[in-house]
Chains A and B, each alone.
Chain A
Amino acid sequence: MNLNGFLKFILISAFLTLSSCVRLDESMRLFFPSEVKELQFVQTQFPAFWWNFLIIEPKQSAPDIATAEALCGALKSHLDQQLRLVFCGDQVASAEPVLTSWAKDFVYRQKFDPSQGPQYLAKLRSTAVQASFISDKKMFSVLRVDPFQSWQDYLGRSENNLVSNFEKLNGFLLDSETGRLIIPIQFQLSPQLEYISPILAISNSYPNVFLIGSHGSTYRNERQVREDIKIVSAIGLAVLFLFLILLVLKSRVNSLFLLVPVAAALYIASLVTQAIDGSVHGLTLAFGSGIVGLTLDYGLHGAFGSESKQTWKSNAIGLLTTLCGVAILLFSGIPLIRQMMIFSIAGLASGFILYFLLFKYFARYFRIKNVKLFLPLITGMKFLILGFVLFGLYGATQANLAMDLKKLSFVSERESKLMSWFFAKSKNDEAFLLVKPKSEASESSANEFQWSQQHKISYDGISKYLPDENVRNENSKSWNQGCGFIRGQADPNSQKIFSPFIELICAEKTESSLDQKNYLNHLVGENHVLSIFTARNDQDRIKITQEFPHAISLTQSLKKFSVSLEKDLTWMIPVSLFLTLLILALYYRDLKAVLTAILPFMTGLGLYFCVALVLSLEVDLISILGLVMVFGFSIDYGVFSTDAHVFDSNADEVSGVYTALTFAALVNILGFLPMLFAGHPVLAHLGFALFFGTLGTYLGTVYGVRPLYEKKVG
């Protein structure tokens, strides 16, 4: 088998093995930190959070009723499939299952009062007359089971503060200031791409329509991640191809053998990650591979400096300092970052061991003929390097560690504006969520409802709709007498029209379970029930948190997460820096050597901050996490180059180290390049930090470390 065949075999085998053995995860599960896990649970369990809103922008400054009507019709064709409720057009008709379910529990809510007998009969006749004006079959069927029209009571109880802020126009919610129409839709299931796609296909066919809400956001993020992975893979393959051409042109094709341990390290990293997390996220595989690819630095360093005894000592120190930077991120609050770090540590460690063993026993196969491939010294570059260092130091003091979770989400500027506008309608209302097991639902909800009424705090919970069990039993029994009365006294027409209602009151009373009560659906999960308190001011907030300390506030949880992460970073970064400096100090026992070893990191930092300033990039937590990764490997560059000068290497050995670093930097820079094209903010921010951090690191190595020791080399 020739070399090309062998390489093809290795690469194809690695990809096939990875794809067949590794369980890929593309969900957003790992994006959420533990502090917001409860909120994530609530959002996936309870349909109350499955409401989304289609915003229809006006056309020629007027509400676009035509689009709204077309959209409404198309959405309603998905009722009972992807959608549970669609509020547009004939709203009562679309809510028929909910209203019918509400009507069926009338006997549990209301007690039959024999003294009101004539009034009951009059109501039946009156509703029959009203029904004669109605030709909508669905509405008529609701009236047949609900002759006392208790559905109006349900609409009053379930009124949403956010929705009631809008006016109504032709069956749609209207914001009269902007002319935007709003269609609230409730999905059948928690956010999952396959359920959302058909609905998004409808809304995407209208350029002035946007879906906002948890499902819309999930769709956009997952779609973007998938697209990013496609782009990254395509660019990555193109880069690999170009790199191969370069090696062929430089007659260093045997260096491709060095990719074998990287492929093996990737495989080991995937298995370790899967053993710990159960699956490997697509992003971990895409970007963790970039980090594991850094092990190639050790291979290249070994290949170009195979004669030097110092090579593997430098590699070991490099690995140790890299692990310092990477391992500290294991404490990150974001599970995806933690998974990437597990993947990276496993990959870096196994890659290092594999290279060490290969060079120990098969060095001759991997040795690469030395070639001087590094940038020439340029007069004045030291000033630029000094500038980078100073800018890096300045930028480090200015970096904002505050975390805004919204930045983890992929949202276009237009959508972001729409969401801010829409949710600003809820003013300062803050929802407090209380989750309890179903077994405790009835009793605790009754107390909560009573408390909320006493304190005039808006409440949505089971007891808002359903009295306690004793009252329900008493009420339902009373309708045994009610049945006899209606059957005996109601006129034949009423008996025919309202036969579904009469059947209901006369049937043996076996109450449906909470799951079967469609009108409570938004508050009932698989094993838990939900209560929602809405605080309108600080006093309400204090009252709620004092009475119900376990109530979770979405806003507060996100703030807590941000604060705890900020606290984590304020110790992670200094500890990482201290550990690295300690290792370097113990290794060199020389201040200049320690400083030159960290110089490439400072230039990397400086270049990134310069680019961020020029391109108006926001230096956020994600970029800082990227810079922590740059810190990990930039110390390798500093150590390798400093070692080459400090430990009396000859000119060829020094040249070999810089050539190795050039190759390594080229591989890294090209490896991180695809991330610059990612549309998802997490990946793009990480990409900018890694790409420019690496470039700056390389420039710092060649134009910072080298000139400082040039006299010695000479």
Chain B
Amino acid sequence: MNTEGSIKVTWPTTTEKSSMNLTKSKMSAVTLSLFFALFLPFAAYAATGVETPSLSPEQILREFKHSEKPGFRSGQFRQRKNIKDLDVQIDSSGEFQIKTFGASKTSIYWNITKPDPLQICINDQGIVMNNPQSGKKSKYKLNELSQSQHAGLTKILQLVHLNPKKLTNDFNVAKSNDTSEKSFSLIPKEKKNYDFTRTEITLDQKKDVSKVRIFEAGDDTLEFEFFQTNNKPLRTAKNDLTILKECN
């Protein structure tokens, strides 16, 4: 048999084995240290986006003071839900109205026109849904629902209102470094109170919310985009008034 060029393999002795193990364990320790030193901060950085540290309560108040003013905001919206497992995007659009009554009270009205008509009103009392096609109107009182259901259904209300006190209490708020847009990242302080892991909010030049991107469990996302907005009540068809009245 020609053994030229072949590698001769011999089993190490016990002493060699232990020295090899030692070397291996040293190597592992070094690799592990590198992992902790380099990768983890990077991962954490990547997970929270390119952000500065959390804002202080004073900074939050300064950034979102505007949202406490009573008034109307209405316009068009686009909504997109990405369900990663199913590789599906659910798109809908229509008109909206946000009515701010004061620092902690607000209501939101969605008049979904596409793909099919559906009206939703959410306020601090409950949720009303009206399906004009089936004629079905459902009402849910928020105080009847569990805390997690309550939080899940009213999250949009919380995220478009941006009450500074609520933000300070419930979220770690960080400002994005991106200078072209004013955007913030909100991470719930207590996971049980919110059914999402993180939210990105973009404000327009009037400091109103123009975009919301919610990161849910399982990498699903829900995005809202507001455009053609003004500070007037929504002008809507007579047929849609029933639900809108419940929001006012």
Give the one of A132, A168, A169, A170 with max B CB within 10 A. Answer: A132
B16 to chain A, nearest CB (A): 53
Q: How far is the CB of B187 from chain A (nearest CB, A)?
A: 16
Binary contact track A101-125/B, C-beta < 8 Å → 1, others 0: 0000000000000000001001101
- In chain B, residues 115-137, which have Cβ atoms closer than 8 Å to a Cβ of chain A? 115-116, 118, 120, 129, 131, 133-134
In the bound complex, residues from chain B placing their C-beta under 8 Å from that of A122 are 116, 133
Q: Which of A69, A133, A136 contacts B147 (CB 8 A)?
A: A69
Contacts of B118 in A (CB 8 A): 126, 129-130
Query: Min CB distance, A380 to chain B, in Å?
Result: 73
A338 to B111, CA, bound (A): 73
Partner of A90, one of B83, B86, B134, B146: B146
Q: Does A134 contact B (CB under 8 A)?
A: yes
Least Cβ–Cβ distance between B40 and chain A, in angstroms: 28
> A89: CB under 8 A from chain B?
yes
Residues in B with CB closer than 8 Å to A209 are: none
> Which residues in B have their C-beta under 8 angstroms from that of A497?
83, 86, 88, 90
Q: Does B89 contact A (CB under 8 A)?
A: yes
Encoded as 1 (CB less than 8 Å from any B CB) or 0, chain A from 135 to 160 comes to 11100000000000000100000000
Whether the Cβ atoms of A170 and B112 lie closer than 8 Å is no
Which A-chain residue is minimally distant from B79 (CB atoms)? A132
CA of A134 to CA of B196 in the docked complex: distance in angstroms? 11
CB <8 Å contact, B145 and A170: yes
Are A136 and B195 closer than 8 Å at their CB atoms? yes
Q: Which listed residue, B116, B195, B196, touches A126 by the CB 8 Å rule?
A: B116
Q: How many residues of chain B have a CB within 8 Å of chain A?
A: 38
CB proximity to A under 8 Å, residues B93-118: 112, 115-116, 118
Neighbouring A residues of B141 by C-beta, 8 Å: 168
A493 on the interface (CB 8 Å rule)? yes
Contact with B along A76-97 (1 / 0, CB 8 A): 0000000000001111000000
CA of A697 to CA of B34, assembled, Å: 92
A129 contacts B115, C-beta separation under 8 Å:
yes
**A583 adjacent to chain B (CB < 8 Å):** no
Decide: A170 near B147, CB < 8 A? Known: A123-B134, A135-B152, A135-B195: yes
The answer, yes or no, to whether B53 is at the interface (CB within 8 Å) is no
Q: State whether B90 touches A132 (Cβ < 8 A).
A: yes
**B112 to A: closest C-beta gap in Å:** 6
Q: How far is the CA of A131 from the CA of B146 in the complex (A)?
A: 19
With an 8 A cutoff between CB atoms, is A333 at the interface?
no
Contacting residues, chain B, for A493 (C-beta < 8 A):
88-90
Give the residues from 70 to 102 in chain B that come closer than 8 angstroms, CB to CB, to chain A.
79, 81, 83, 86-90, 92
Question: Taking chain B's interface residues, is the majority helix, strand, or loop, or is none over half, making it mixed?
Answer: mixed
Contacts of A136 in B (CB 8 A): 148-149, 152, 195
- Interface on chain A toward B: helix, strand, loop, or mixed SS? helix
Chain A residues within an 8 Å CB radius of B143: 168-170
A171 in the interface (beta carbon within 8 A): yes
Chain A nearest CB, measured from B33 CB (Å): 38
By the criterion CB–CB under 8 Å, are A126 and B131 in contact? yes
Residues of the B chain whose Cβ atoms lie less than 8 Å from the Cβ of A171? 144-147, 149
Residues of A contacting B153 with CB < 8 Å?
Answer: 133
CB of B220 within 8 Å of the partner chain: yes
> How far in angstroms is the closest Cβ of chain A from B143?
6
**List of B residues within 8 angstroms of A230 by Cβ:** none
Contact assessment for A132 and B222 in the assembled complex, using a CB-CB cutoff below 8 Å? yes
Chain B contact residues, CB within 8 Å of chain A? 79, 81, 83, 86-90, 92, 112, 115-116, 118, 120, 129, 131, 133-134, 138, 141, 143-150, 152-153, 156, 195-196, 216-218, 220, 222
Sample (17) of A-B pairs whose CB atoms are under 8 Å apart: A90-B146, A119-B133, A119-B134, A122-B133, A126-B115, A126-B131, A128-B115, A129-B90, A129-B92, A129-B112, A136-B152, A137-B217, A168-B143, A169-B143, A170-B144, A171-B149, A496-B88
Q: Which are the 9 A-B pairs with shortest beta-carbon distances? A: A171-B146, A132-B81, A168-B144, A89-B146, A125-B115, A135-B195, A132-B90, A129-B92, A135-B216
